[in-house]
Every structure is written in C-alpha cells, then in structure tokens.
Amino acid sequence: VLDGKPVLLATSFLPAPMVAGSAITQEDTGPGGIYARLGELGFAPAHFREEIRSRMPSKEEADQLSLSAGTPVILVCRTAFAAEGRPVEVNEMVLDSASYVLEYDFDA
C-alpha cells in the first residue's frame, strides 16, 4: 500500500511437503516473513531468478489496484532457490506500473 492505495498483488507458491505444519502455513508468518521461516527449515533462499513482463490488467486486477484507465501492470515471477539449487518458492506479482521503477545493477 502506498499513500493508502494498493500497488502490488502477490501470490507465493511453496512445496507443500517442505512447509507442512510450519509457520509458513499461517496467515501471519511472523518476523522476517516467508524467507525467515524457510531459513529456519533449512531452505534459506540463496539465489533468485526473475521473469518480467508487462500487459494491460484484467478487470479484477484493475479493480483491486484501483488503476486509472490505460494503466498497464508489470508482472514479476520470482523463483527463489536454496543453496543446493532446489526451488523453494515461486512468487507471482502484479505491480501498478505507475508506482514502480525496477532497477537492476549487475556485472557484464
């Protein structure tokens, strides 16, 4: 929420057998969120991969984000991997494009 307006919708997917019975399955995962809980389970994220796309929002997304007509959304699909390369979370995010600047800094 930014200035009282939602700017991001996010859904996380985690391997059910890995997180069954843990605090991750609760509505409030506690301090540090999902990544802290994954660390406690021995699956701390060590690497991330993101896929980024843009498109016009669905009616439901436009309503949930209170988007002005013509405002596109940015889609970010982030996969978190544990140190040994095992995927531990997929997070699908829908961002209000008018509220975000995506900045990446990496070596060639």
The domain segmentation of the chain, as residue ranges, is 8-99
Q: Average pLDDT, whole number, for the chain?
A: 94
- Please tell me the CATH code under which domain 8-99 is placed: 3.40.1410.10
- CA-to-CA dists, residue 38 to 12, 18, 24, 56, angstroms: 13, 9, 8, 33
At residue 62, what are phi and psi to the nearest 5 degrees?
-60, -40
pLDDT tens by residue, 56-82? 999 999 999 999 999 999 999 999 999
Q: How far apart are the first and last CA of the chain?
A: 34
Query: What is the rounded radius of gyration, in angstroms, for the C-alpha atoms of the chain?
Result: 16
Question: Residue 88 gets which letter from DSSP?
Answer: E
Question: Can you give the pTM of this predicted structure?
Answer: 0.87
Q: Among residues of the chain, what percentage have pLDDT more than 70?
A: 100
